[in-house]
Amino acid sequence: MAKLIIPENYRSALTLRETQHAIKFVKDTFQKALAFAVTLDRVTAPLIVRKDSGINDDLNGVERKVDFDIKLDGSEAEVVQSLAKWKRMALYRYSYSVGEGIYTDMNAIRRDDDMDNIHSIYVDQWDWEKVISRQQRTVEYLKDTVKSIVKAIVYTKRQVRMRYPALGAKICEEPYFITTQELLERYPDLSAKERERAIAKEKKTVFLMQIGKILSNGERHDGRAPDYDDWELNGDIIFWDEVLSDAFEISSMGIRVDADSLKTQLEECGANDRMKYDYHKMIADGTLPLTIGGGIGQSRLCMFLLEKAHIGEVQNSVWPEEMIKTCKKNGINFL
C-alpha cells in the first residue's frame, strides 16, 4: 500500500459504462494506427508454452513463472510472461521478409509483479516484431521506429478527445532521446526511478535507451533479459502522467540480439547454459531473422489516454482488499 498514489480530489471523467466503451475504442483505434505506422499483420499467439522450449520470456531472470503439468502426457507447461522470443520464431516460420512484421494480443500472468497504480499480476499488451536488415541495426532506425509508435499514440489520443471532450490532456509528440548513462550523469544523486521521474517531468515524452547494461556507478538502470534485446539498441517509451504526477512507462522495445550480442550478454550474465535451446542456437547460426520488436501495454495505454488513476479502472484483475477499499473511498472505482 505504500506505493499507492491517491491523486487529490480525483474523479474519473467517465462512468464505468463509458469506460468500458472507451477501452474498446482505444484498443480498436490504436492497433490499427500501430499496424499502419510500423507495417504489421495481426496474428494469433499462444497463452501457454512447453517448459523446456526456451521460448518463454525470462524478464529480469528472477520472476517465477506460472506452470502446471498436462494430464495427457505428464509434460510441463508455462503461462507466457511475454512473447519476445516466440514472435521472432514466428517471423521465421511464417517466412516474413525485411520490412514486414506482426503484432498480437498477449495475455500473461506475472505472479511476482507489484500491485500498485500501474502494475498488475495480469498483463495484457500488444506484442509486435518486425524483420530488419543488418544495415538497420542502428540507433537511428530504433529512433525512427519509436517516433512512429509515439505518433500512433498521439493520433489515438486525438480521437479519444474528439469522442470524450472531458479528457483534455495532451501528449508531447516529439520524444526526447537519452541513454541510461546520460541520465545518470544528469541526475547523479537520484535513484534510477527518481531519474526517470525527473526526465519525464521535464521532457514529457522520453525514450530511455540502453537498458540492461552496467553503468559507470557499477549498477544497471533496470534489469533486462540477456537473450532478446541488444542492450545497446533498446529502451522504454515513457510519458509524464498528469493524473499521477509521475513517470509512466508505456512500452519496452528494442532491436533484438544478433549472434555477437547474444554471446556477449549471456556471458556477462553467466547464462551460457541457455545455448542448449533451439531458439538461441538459431540466433547463433543466423537461422532466425534480425528483428526489432517490443510490447505496448494495453491496459496502461487505456489508463493513460483515459486519464485514470489506477490500472484497475481499465482491467479486471485481483487486488488486495485494502487497496480496493482505499481506492473506492478516494473516487477510484475498479471494473
pLDDT score for 79: 87
| Domain membership flag for residue 35 | no
Spatial contact of 48 and 78, defined as CB atoms under 8 Å apart: yes
Let me know if 236 is a catalytic residue. yes
Distance of CA 130 to the CA centre of its chain: 16
The active-site residue out of 12, 31, 57, 307 is: 57
Domain of 221, in residue numbers: 40-297
Sequence-distant (≥ 6) Cβ neighbours of residue 81 within 8 angstroms: 56, 57, 58, 59, 63, 65, 108, 110, 123
Let me know if 76 is a catalytic residue. no
For residue 65, the domain's CATH number is 3.30.930.10
Set of cell numbers at residue 114: 507489484
Characterize the bridge pairing of strands 122-131 and 48-50: unpaired
| Domain membership flag for residue 313 | no
| pLDDT tens-digit profile, the chain (335 residues) | 558 999 999 999 999 999 999 999 999 999 999 999 999 999 999 998 888 777 777 666 667 888 888 888 888 999 888 788 899 999 999 999 999 999 999 998 888 888 999 999 999 999 999 999 999 999 999 999 999 999 999 999 999 999 999 998 889 999 999 999 999 999 999 999 999 999 999 999 999 999 999 999 999 999 888 998 999 999 999 999 999 999 999 999 999 999 999 999 999 999 999 999 888 999 999 999 999 999 999 999 999 999 999 999 999 999 999 999 999 999 999 99
2: left (phi over 0), alpha (psi -120 to 50) or beta: alpha
| Domain membership flag for residue 212 | yes
The active-site residue out of 124, 127, 196, 236 is: 236
Q: How far apart are CA 118 and CA 317, in angstroms?
A: 12
pTM: 0.93
Among residues 330, 298, 327, the alpha carbon closest in space to that of 315 is found at 298
| Domain membership flag for residue 174 | yes
Place of cell 531519474: 195
pLDDT score for 272: 94
| Domain membership flag for residue 127 | yes
State how many domains the chain has: 1
Q: How far apart are CA 139 and CA 65, in angstroms?
A: 32
Where does residue 99 rank: exposed (0-12), middle (13-18), buried (19+ CB within 10 A)? exposed
The active-site residue out of 227, 249, 258, 307 is: 249
Spatial contact of 191 and 224, defined as CB atoms under 8 Å apart: no
pLDDT score for 225: 87
Let me know if 249 is a catalytic residue. yes
What's the DSSP call for residue 21? Answer: H
pLDDT score for 88: 93
Set of cell numbers at residue 217: 556507478
| Domain membership flag for residue 13 | no
Secondary-structure percent of the chain, ordered helix, strand, coil, rounded to 5: 40, 20, 40
Give the number of other CB atoms < 10 A from CB of residue 277.
Answer: 16
| Domain membership flag for residue 8 | no
The active-site residue out of 120, 210, 251, 252 is: 252
Q: How far apart are CA 119 and CA 249, in angstroms?
A: 11
Give the number of other CB atoms < 10 A from CB of residue 331.
Answer: 13
The active-site residue out of 125, 251, 265, 298 is: 125
Let me know if 252 is a catalytic residue. yes
| Domain membership flag for residue 34 | no
Among residues 139, 128, 259, the alpha carbon closest in space to that of 207 is found at 139
The active-site residue out of 31, 81, 88, 110 is: 110
Classify 308 as helix, strand or coil.
coil
Let me know if 315 is a catalytic residue. no
